[in-house]
Chains A and B, each alone.
Chain A
Amino acid sequence: MSGQLTLPEKPKSKFSLYKRIVIFIIIALIYIWTFTSLEIRWDTIFSESTLDNMDRIIPKFFQPAVEETGNILEMMFETLFIAYTGSLAAAIIAVPLAFLCASNMVSNKFLNNIGMWILGGVRAFPEIVLAIIFVAAVGPNPFAGVLAIAIGSTGMLGKLYSEVIESIDMNIIEALEASGANKLQILFYGIFPQVLPEFLSYAIYRFEIDVRASSVLGIVGAGGIGTLITFAYMNRNWEEVGMILLVIIITVTIIDQISGFIRKRLV
Chain B
Amino acid sequence: MIEFNDVSLVYPNGTEGLKNIDLKINEGEFVVIVGLSGAGKSTFIRSINRLVTPTSGSLLVEDEDILKANGTDLRRLRTKIGMIFQSYNLVKRSTVLKNVISGRLGYTGTLTSILNIFSKEDKLLAYENLKRVNIEEKLYNRADELSGGQQQRVSIARVLTQKPKLILADEPVASLDPPTSHQVMKYLKQINREDKITTIVNLHFIDMAMEYADRIIGMRAGEVVFDGPVSDVTEQTFEEIYGRSIRDEDRRGGVEDE
Contact = CB atoms under 8 A, between A and B. Distances in A.
A178 B83 contact: yes
Interface string B61-90: 000000000000001111101110101011
Interface residues of A, number: 20
B102 interface: yes
A194 interface: yes
Interface string A164-206: 0000010110111111111011001110011001000000000
A260 B35 CA distance: 51
Given A172-B89, A174-B51, A180 B113 contact: no
Interface string A208-249: 000000000000000000000000000000000000000000
A184 B111 CA distance: 9
B105 A175 contact: no
Given A185-B110, A189-B113, A179 B89 contact: no
A179 B114 contact: no
A174 B45 CA distance: 14
B110 A178 contact: no
Interface string A47-80: 0000000000000000000000000000000000
Given A175-B83, A188-B113, A193-B94, A180 B106 contact: yes
Contacts of B159: 179
Interface residues of B, number: 32
Contact of B105 (A169, A185, A194): A185
A264 to B, nearest CB: 16
B218 interface: no
A193 B93 contact: yes
Nearest to B102: A189
Contacts of B87: 171
B49 interface: yes
A180 B113 CA distance: 13
A174 B110 contact: no
Contacts of A179: 78-79, 82-83, 102-103, 105-106, 158-159, 162
A176 B82 CA distance: 10
B91 interface: yes
A189 B101 CA distance: 10
Contacts of B90: 172
